[in-house]
Chains A and B, each alone.
Chain A
Amino acid sequence: MALAAEAGSEVRHPLTPLRYRVVGKRRETEDTVTLSLLPVDRPIALTRPGQFNMLTGFGVGEIAISISNDPAAEEPLEHTIRAVGAVSSALCQTPPEGVIGVRGPFGTDWGVAELSQTDTIVVAGGIGLAPLRGAIRALLERRRPSGKGHLLSVVVGARNPSQLLFEEEMLAWQRAGAHLQVTVDTARPGWSGPVGVVTDQLARVPADFSNAVALVCGPEVMIRYTARALVDLGMPRDHIRISLERNMQCGVGLCGHCQLGPWLTCRDGPVFTYDLRAEGILASPHR
């Protein structure tokens, strides 16, 4: 006897998504799109910046994508997706009013609630800025009542100026009081900003590194070198939070794909503290 349980009924399999409608679509770069999503039936639980959802392109497949805004503060769920594979391409091609599947939220978050009284350095590389966008917004929002005093520094690295995400919004962050440093790997003359790696920018961050907290997201190599540079600048390891990527197929610790040493990345991460153990695990190839 096959028991049919429809969306909206009580018992749901953890692999069953809820339907969300694309109510807004914004092209960020040549290959990256931000989708604004509202529930068709009922919503998933509140996603905190740093957490991720599993997004289904119906009939194509499902991938893990971090939330790119702060749903606690604003209504549509936003996911910024770079078209690199079959599923991400299908998601990026979903037309306005199209329906995708959403499961979540999963994993650990940036913990921004506890950072309103702390100097915070956000370091993002490439698409890694997307999972940090919600955290930056939340930090700017939370600081407003207490006024200035605590630094929010945003250090962004990208391949070239045309690959920069949220360019307009970065300027708004700057106007709202964030200290912004943007660097690219290569540029044509006319780009007035720095050309180089994000690690070279860190020394210019006007923070007391021993008391500040860093949120780091980007390619894993960039994360490793950024974390080491922060430690060299005097930041205690346990002040550094990093977001890691592994293959995820369930999001709830049942499929085994996101093994990373002692961790299940979906359950124990994706946001981890860069302690000595994490440093060792990241330094060991092929784990």
Chain B
Amino acid sequence: MIRKTILLLIFSVLLTSCVPYKQLEELGIINTRGVDKIENNQLETTIIAYQFDAQSPEITTTVFGIGNTIKGARENAGYNTNFELSPGQIRLELYGKETAEDGILEYLSTLVRDARVSDTMLVAVSNVTAKEVLTAGQEELMTDVGQLIQSLIEKEVQEYSIPKTSLQNYLRIESDIGQDPVVPLIGLRDKKPAIVGLAAFQNDRLVGELPIDQAFLINVFLTNTKDTPLEITLQREPLSDYIYNNVSDTYQADNPENEDQFTILVKVLKGQGDIKLKNIEDLHFEANIHLEVDLYETSELLSIKDEKIASILEEEMAKEFERQYNVLFAQLQEINSDPFGFGIIYRINKKDGELTDTEWREKFPNVTVDFNVNVDLMHYGTIQ
């Protein structure tokens, strides 16, 4: 028995053979990678990696590599560093605008097939080239730009201002027929990296850029949002009786013809969106959005003594949101990208339940949607 056990032990150790060493301090651990297409169909990668060198206190390093594949480019970048570059800790992959316009699925598939790479890593698109964003930021800020962009995105995702953009999320939405992914668009503002908008995809190809404040409108349909701060501009006219003028100490504005807008900041405590197919022949949808908001700040003093003001505000906000939805939807139809997932609802309601990508691409521009926004003003007077 003992002999058998010992034999079993020896064999099981021998048969597993040697596992390749990946000793931490001998690796250049890729944290952020930028991918750009350059001429001759080649790829240029910008790699921000951690390396632990006893001689140098600096741990982040930026290296560049050119190759025909991502791994080829990584090998090429490896000539620049004495550490073995490995992708196990990659947290952000940033694609250049032109690269993304040609499709990014082939790059993502190598990531998702690598067991070492975490599926929760972020995917983002740059509005210039990835190299430009990553290097310019590095020079300007003297910090790890990769980390910076990650925390920028993570913070916004946590506030539900932009939809989740992990690798797993992207690939799930991408492979769903009838829905398209959106990812944050990273650009340079004052030479510093910032989220400048939302990149709308058609399948895996970048087709358009949406303004960042519209990201919330899309996110309401993707998840139940909580505690999102939002600035919204309303028509001044219906509120004008309640706007307090502290110069003349009256409710009369100085020169109402000059200003026809009134801006408020609200926190959307709860946001829910729901899509219903009303008529399958006409491709007519109804989208119901329910928002519960707190009023935090107004651009001018507003008298909230009168209860009527609450219902006026609710109504005006709903109107404004409906207007924004219509504008956004028209824009999305133009670029033929469907991040809301109308296609999924259509497929569910279709008799055979089958929908091909080309079929939906043909139908989507002809879809009509009624956006019904219902705003509940929960608290006002809170200032934070």
Q: Do A and B come from one complex?
A: no
Interface residues of A (CB under 8 A from B): none
